[in-house]
Amino acid sequence: MMEEALFQPTLVSERPRIEIRFNGTPLEVPAGTSVAAALLVSGVAQFRTTPVGRSSRAPWCMMGVCFDCLLEIDGKPNVQGCMTAVKENMDVRTQWGAARYE
Amino acid sequence: MCVPNGAQHAMNNGSDTQLQGHVDVAVIGAGPAGMAAATVCAEHGLNVAILDDQATPGGQIYRGITLASRKMREVLGPDYCAGDALVAPLLDGRINYMPDTAVWEVTRDKTLHLTQGGRSSSLQADYVVLSTGAMERPFPIPGWTLPGVMTAGAAQILLKTAGATAMGPVILAGCGPLLYLLAAQYLAAGTQIAAVVDTTGWSDYWRALQDGRGAASDISSLAKGLKLLRTIKKAGVPFFTNASNLEATGDDRVREFKFTSGGKVHCLAANVLLLHHGVVPNTQFTWSLRAPHEWSEQQLCWLPKTNAVGELDGASGIFVAGDGAAIIGAQAAAQHGRLIGIEISGRAGRLSAGARDEEVSRLNRRLNKTRQFRRFLDALYRPKAAHRVPADDVIVCRCEEVTAGALRNHVALGCLGPNQAKSFSRCGMGPCQGRQCGLTVTELIATVRGVEPATVGYFRVRPPVKQVTLGELAEE
Amino acid sequence: MSTDVVDCLVIGGGLVGASVAYGAAKSGASTLLLDEGDAAVRASRGNFGLVWVQGKGDGLPVYAAWTRQARLMWTDFAAELLADTGVDVQLRETGGYWFGFSDEEMEQRQAMLQPLWDQGGVPFQMLDYSDLKARVPRIGPAVVGGSFCPLDAHVNPLRLLHALHKGMTQAGTRLINGAPVQDLAWDDGIFTATVGTATYRARRVVLAAGLGNRKLAPMLGLHAPVVPNRGQILVTERLQPFLASVTNKARQTEEGSVQLGSTEEDVGYDDRTTLPAMKALARRGVQTFPLLANAKLVRAWGALRVMTPDGFPIYEESAECPGAFIVTCHSGVTLSALHCKRISAWILGNEVNPDSTRAFSSGRFSKGEPA
């Protein structure tokens, strides 16, 4: 990630780190945080594109009422990143437009 | 596919429902109001369940408190630790505390439909306490949907749950105690703030000071507020006042923040822009119950109609506690929760009428003082009209990307209210179901039509209040 | 308040009223439409969007032919709406499927559809599971077979309403919103409608007020035995396209959301949703399209159909007050083009074959019909 991250993990140096993947790239993130928080401190600034206008979105509210943090998590589309805790080996991907279910 | 003829009294809870349990009291939301209500009821021997969609208790104000380090508590400030005493009873076994549980419908006969770990179930209660608290008021300015533009509350959640602070240049904009609190917390965490852009100006101070009694009713809160502002100024943070014409610009994320202040146009580089101009009650459940709501000109939002003990108008046994009923702040929310807990315990025969009345009166007296002070705060930090009803090219509905201009056109075509506007534009039909656009839509239509918001009304809110999969629903 | 007398006063601005007003105004009649407002029952807002022909007319074969004609007019109608208003109502002429989940259901379906082809000209094809799977790849194994009708189609009903409103106002219809009609009178060939302190006068009146027609009809010597019939619908989040054709119980909209419907309940004016119905709709949806098991439900709603005793429309001119007409149905989308062209012509006295509406008069209900 070439650009500056939106957030940095200032106060959790003592937490254990776990590994998740974002669009295939491994990321080391603090355990016990939401997927949204983990991505924000790892330099991710685009979580999804909107189905209507293909606009880039990232979290707005962090409390589950805006649905801008939707991601594909472990194969499930349109999951709210701010309401999901990170887990070891979690596979997280950008939510491109509308959900696809198989 | 036909459902057999329903009786004249079609209830939302048909005989088909598998009831997986019964409790005396079901509390929705583990913030200060919910925790206090649940605790009081449990203390009086009632069987209580408290359901919360987060993984740990505390609501938003005490978010992350069970995991907060000493350093975190220092940064967040002394008021945060008040949450400890409220949380403790949830963890000692006398209350059935259900985290990671989303309630997707509450019916008038007090059946709750929940989803937990991908499985749906239901719970029947004799009393329901809706304590879903507040959420940030939508802040529709140009560019508010750009990545990197977030609410001040979101920044606090990131701080509380992940110890994370924004990377610079960070700008805080808007007005209200939460904005200044965040600034102070960031300074305590060692984060540099590029600017605080305050929309409060002389006319706001003037309006607020008309209510001198209100200001004087809580001197300690007043002093706390002034101290916050002094902290920010002492740290040398560039502080702009009476700001207007707010605009976030950028390509695929926010790059700059423009505003007018002191007669000049300013253009500051921004990596993260944190907006806030107040919080509003989260009324999804009360609307979905079809309870009557009143438009509050003071708080510029809808308030569910309740009686003096917080019971929802026309829905016996369903109470609304804390900020979900009207914005009163965390401390008062706990008192309000306590009051409702006392009322329920009295109704359930666990407390004499005399003792109940005395405690309810005592708490109401304290709450009335808070309400007095709140009038002053609401006057001082009244969100600006331009940030409630924006210009044509500003997005109103984030989910469906509907602009203010599109909505104005629909009103011109004859849309009298939000539901007609919704059917013409899809505004309010996305996953957030009107949470981020509802207030804007009501006020926009009212402004264009030249009538009161109360005349315009609000979106029709339907279940599910939280999303549930079709598979889950089929298996419930 | 005006002393002008318009040619045509339409009461009710839903799909039926707006279609009629659009047609009347375009043919040169001075038209006024009075609409109740945002909080009214508004059947048109709760619409599935089907332009549906197969199965229509079971019990009244002339209705099968009527529906077929309405459908054939739709192709040009959609183009006309686009040209007049710039609104694309997204007519998708895909053909439509009905799915059966047992051999018995399949037999009953075929037996029902055959006479409608023979007498009403509505073609259909019975398909077994493997035929269906080739055309609708995402169906699940619980589906035994289905019926297909090439005439069925779907459209965006909210866009249609928007287009009709735009079209009618552009053609000169005067629209007054928030105007519930309290009283109707007829005197010496002129009708007067009262809304509060305002009165409106017209040479012809069209009652297109849906369930509101019950109260209005007797004022002008008409009979509107309509009752509410609740339909509950589930709506999902937007999904990537997987279902281009329309089915009578499931439809994927242009935006990608999937609608699952619907119930038929006799519960008065109660438009709430119920858990048993929601569960049943979800189950059926997942049985039909297993991929929907993980799709999220965003909203469930109920709406009230305007139902006549036999489910077929009522088109009638008042004998007592000639010039007063009633137009009511619960298929406002399917019949929209026909209402716009032929019904408005009938009302204005320009219909080539005025007897075609005779089958739909309220006289077909016996005197003792439950009202």
Residue type, B256: E
Chains A–B, number of C-beta pairs less than 8 Å apart: 134
Q: Hey, are the CB atoms on B162 and A38 less than 8 Å from each other?
A: yes
Q: Hey, are the CB atoms on C249 and B469 less than 8 Å from each other?
A: no
Q: How confident is the model at residue B13 (pLDDT cuts 50, 70, 90)?
A: very low
Q: How confident is the model at residue B16 (pLDDT cuts 50, 70, 90)?
A: very low
The pLDDT tens digits of the residues spanning B293-350 come to: 999 999 999 999 999 999 999 999 999 999 999 999 999 999 999 999 999 999 999 9
Domains B13-135+280-351 and B389-456 share a fold: no
Q: Is the pLDDT of residue B46 over 60?
A: yes
Residue type, B462: R
- Is residue C286 classed as helix, strand or coil in its secondary structure? helix
The Cα of B100 is separated from the nearest Cα of chain A by a number of Å equal to 9
Q: Is residue A1 part of a domain?
A: no
CA distance B322 to B34: 8
Residue of C nearest to A100 (CA): C240
The pLDDT tens digits of the residues spanning C278-337 come to: 999 999 999 999 999 999 999 999 999 999 999 999 999 999 999 999 999 999 999 999
Average pLDDT over residues B405-430: 90
The Cα of B394 is separated from the nearest Cα of chain C by a number of Å equal to 22
- Answer for the pair B64, B55: CB distance below 8 angstroms, yes or no: no
Residue of A nearest to C297 (CA): A78
Instruction: Provide the pLDDT for residue B18.
Output: 37
Q: Is A98 in the B-facing interface, judged by CB distances under 8 Å?
A: no
Beta bridge partners of C301: C233
Could you tell me what percent of chain B has a pLDDT over 90?
88
Q: Hey, are the CB atoms on B467 and C294 less than 8 Å from each other?
A: no
Contact residues for B422 (Cβ-Cβ < 8 A; gap 6+):
B428, B429, B459
Q: Which of C211, C250, C251, C228 lies closest to C302 in space, CA to CA?
A: C228
Instruction: Provide the pLDDT for residue B425.
Output: 87
* Chain B residues near residue A78 by CB distance under 8 angstroms: 431
Q: Is the pLDDT of residue B114 over 50?
A: yes
Residue of B nearest to C167 (CA): B413
Q: Which two tokens stand for residue B78?
A: 């002394």
Neighbours of B346 (CB within 10 A): 20
CA distance B99 to A40: 24
Q: Hey, are the CB atoms on A11 and B189 less than 8 Å from each other?
A: yes
- Is residue B11 classed as helix, strand or coil in its secondary structure? coil
Residue of B nearest to A78 (CA): B431
The pLDDT tens digits of the residues spanning C165-196 come to: 999 999 999 999 889 999 999 999 999 999 99
Residue for token digits 């102070």?
Answer: B184
Q: Which of B338, B301, B323 lies closest to B453 in space, CA to CA?
A: B301
The pLDDT tens digits of the residues spanning B53-87 come to: 999 999 999 999 999 999 999 999 999 999 999 99
Q: How confident is the model at residue C370 (pLDDT cuts 50, 70, 90)?
A: low
Residue of B nearest to C100 (CA): B1
* Chain C residues near residue A100 by CB distance under 8 angstroms: 239-240
Interface of B with A in 183-222 (CB under 8 A): 189-191
The pLDDT tens digits of the residues spanning B340-368 come to: 999 999 999 999 999 999 999 999 999 99
The Cα of C31 is separated from the nearest Cα of chain B by a number of Å equal to 16
CA distances from C114 to C109, C111, C146, C259, C352 (A): 9, 6, 14, 28, 30
- Answer for the pair B60, B32: CB distance below 8 angstroms, yes or no: no
**Degrees, nearest 5: CA angle B429-B434-B437:** 115
- Answer for the pair C207, A66: CB distance below 8 angstroms, yes or no: no
* Chain A residues near residue B432 by CB distance under 8 angstroms: 65-67
Strand C31-34 relative to strand C5-11, pairing:
parallel
Q: Is A98 in the C-facing interface, judged by CB distances under 8 Å?
A: yes
Choose, out of A6, A55, A95, the residue to mutate when testing the contact with B (most B CBs < 10 Å). Answer: A6
Q: Is A64 in the B-facing interface, judged by CB distances under 8 Å?
A: yes
CA distance A20 to B190: 28
Q: Which two tokens stand for residue C310?
A: 């036999």
Residue for token digits 């913030």?
Answer: B31
- B13-135+280-351 CATH pick, 3.30.360.10, 3.40.190.80, 1.10.1240.10, 3.50.50.60: 3.50.50.60
Q: Is B117 in the A-facing interface, judged by CB distances under 8 Å?
A: no
Q: How confident is the model at residue C254 (pLDDT cuts 50, 70, 90)?
A: very high
The Cα of C295 is separated from the nearest Cα of chain A by a number of Å equal to 7
Instruction: Provide the pLDDT for residue B15.
Output: 35
* Tally: H helices and E strands in chain C: 9, 18
Q: Which two tokens stand for residue B339?
A: 């009051």
Q: Domain boundaries in chain C?
A: 5-52+158-225+310-362, 96-150, 227-307
Our measurement of the distance from residue C125's CA atom to the centroid of its chain's CA atoms, rounded to an integer in Å, reads: 25
Q: How confident is the model at residue B219 (pLDDT cuts 50, 70, 90)?
A: confident
Q: Quote the CATH superfamily of domain B389-456.
A: BFD-like [2Fe-2S]-binding domain (1.10.10.1100)
Nearest to B469 among C268, C280, C295 (CB): C295
Residue of A nearest to B101 (CA): A83
CA distance B110 to B125: 6
- Answer for the pair B273, B148: CB distance below 8 angstroms, yes or no: yes
The Cα of C115 is separated from the nearest Cα of chain B by a number of Å equal to 24
Q: Hey, are the CB atoms on C267 and B431 less than 8 Å from each other?
A: no
Q: Hey, are the CB atoms on C237 and A97 less than 8 Å from each other?
A: no
* Chain B residues near residue C294 by CB distance under 8 angstroms: 469-471
The Cα of A24 is separated from the nearest Cα of chain B by a number of Å equal to 22
Write down the H helix ranges in C96-212.
103-120, 129-135, 157-170
The pLDDT tens digits of the residues spanning A58-74 come to: 999 999 999 999 999 99
Neighbours of chain A (3+ CB pairs under 8 A): B, C
Residue of B nearest to A54 (CA): B401
**CATH code for the domain of A25:** 3.10.20.440
Output phi, psi for B182, to 5 deg. Answer: -60, -45
CA distance A10 to B285: 37
Instruction: Provide the pLDDT for residue C2.
Output: 52
CA distance B197 to B90: 40
Q: Which two tokens stand for residue C176?
A: 């007054």
Interface of B with A in 279-318 (CB under 8 A): 282
Q: Which two tokens stand for residue C124?
A: 């259909």
What's the CATH code, domain C5-52+158-225+310-362? 3.50.50.60
Q: Is residue A99 part of a domain?
A: no
Q: Is residue A42 part of a domain?
A: yes
Q: Is residue A79 part of a domain?
A: yes
Q: Is B397 in the A-facing interface, judged by CB distances under 8 Å?
A: no
Q: Which two tokens stand for residue C136?
A: 């609708």
Residue for token digits 């740990």?
Answer: B56
Q: Hey, are the CB atoms on C240 and A97 less than 8 Å from each other?
A: yes
- Is residue C21 classed as helix, strand or coil in its secondary structure? helix
Nearest to C295 among A51, A52, A101 (CB): A101
C95: left (phi over 0), alpha (psi -120 to 50) or beta: left
Q: Hey, are the CB atoms on C297 and B8 less than 8 Å from each other?
A: no
pTM for the whole structure: 0.93
Class of domain B138-277: alpha beta
- Is residue B318 classed as helix, strand or coil in its secondary structure? strand
* Chain B residues near residue C237 by CB distance under 8 angstroms: 431, 467
* Chain A residues near residue C255 by CB distance under 8 angstroms: 51-52
Q: Domain boundaries in chain B?
A: 13-135+280-351, 138-277, 389-456
Q: How confident is the model at residue B5 (pLDDT cuts 50, 70, 90)?
A: very low
* Chain C residues near residue A51 by CB distance under 8 angstroms: 238, 255-256
Q: Is A42 in the B-facing interface, judged by CB distances under 8 Å?
A: no
Q: Is A62 in the B-facing interface, judged by CB distances under 8 Å?
A: yes
Q: b or e along C278-307 (b: 16 or more beta carbons within 10 Å of the residue's beta carbon)?
A: bbbbbbbbbbbbbbbbbbbbbbbbbbbbbb
CA distance C289 to C283: 10
Class of domain C227-307: alpha beta
Instruction: Provide the pLDDT for residue C367.
Output: 56
Choose, out of C35, C38, C248, C284, the residue to mutate when testing the contact with B (most B CBs < 10 Å). Answer: C38
Residue for token digits 């991907």?
Answer: A93
Nearest to B469 among C165, C270, C296 (CB): C296
- Answer for the pair A33, A102: CB distance below 8 angstroms, yes or no: no
- Taking the alpha carbons at both ends of chain A, their separation in whole angstroms is 31
The upper half-sphere exposure of residue B4, i.e. CA atoms within 13 Å in the direction of its Cβ, equals 4
CA distances from C177 to B340, B452, C118 (A): 43, 17, 45
The Cα of C108 is separated from the nearest Cα of chain A by a number of Å equal to 32
Instruction: Provide the pLDDT for residue C37.
Output: 75
Domains in chain A: how many in total?
Answer: 1
* Chain A residues near residue B253 by CB distance under 8 angstroms: 3, 6, 45-46, 56, 58
The pLDDT tens digits of the residues spanning B186-210 come to: 999 999 999 999 999 999 999 998 8
